[in-house]
Amino acid sequence: MAILTILQYPDKRLHTIAKPVPTVTAEIRQLVRDLAETMYAAPGIGLAATQVDVHQQVIVLDISTTQDQLQVFINPQIILSSGESECEEGCLSVPDVYEKVRRAERVTVRALNEQGKVFMLEAQGMLATCIQHEIDHLKGRVFVEYLSMLKQTRLKAKIKKQLRQLA
């Protein structure tokens, strides 16, 4: 297993659209293990392959406090969504930024598991928020893009300043 480097916003590679996985191979299962190890080490409750510069439709999640309930979604698709809720979100690609984002309250997802079998999952609350956040990554979208232009401009200026100070 390996801990992979997580791309940091505003890296342009975060806007790459991930391709569907044609077949769940041993390489994809290795990617799943590496994503899980990287997410647990961060620590985080989700990670999309896009965030480690791999542009295939693979995400991992674990919203448990015990870090023992890994959920794997390959080629995830939201086939039903309902309601609306506003939750505070964070992102391992945008450290130290937590902002409220409005999303669907409930989603039904269709995906492949690590064995390549189709499954469906109905999610609500934090799980639904996290699934939508990670699927956005696969579409090249970062959660800060839901914020007002003013907040995005301020955030970019803050990151530029931090990078200048590091250099």
Which of 88, 89, 114, 134 is labelled catalytic?
Answer: 134
90 lines the binding site for ligand K1U (CB under 6 A): yes
Interface map 88-107 toward Zn ion (x if CB under 5 A): ---x----------------
CB 121 within 8 A of CB 111: yes
* Least distance to ligand K1U, CB of residue 63, Å: 8
Closest CA to 10 of 166, 140, 132, 159: 159
Compute the distance between CA of residue 164 and CA of residue 158 in angstroms, rounded to an integer. Answer: 10
Interface map 108-137 toward ligand K1U (x if CB under 6 A): ---------------------xx--xx--x
Q: Considering CB under 5 A, how many residues would be counted as binding Zn ion?
A: 1
For the question of residue 134 being annotated catalytic, the response is: yes
Burial class of residue 65 in the structure, from the number of CB atoms within 10 Å of its CB (0-12 exposed, 13-18 middle, 19+ buried): exposed
The footprint of ligand K1U (CB under 6 A) covers 43-47, 89-93, 129-130, 133-134, 137
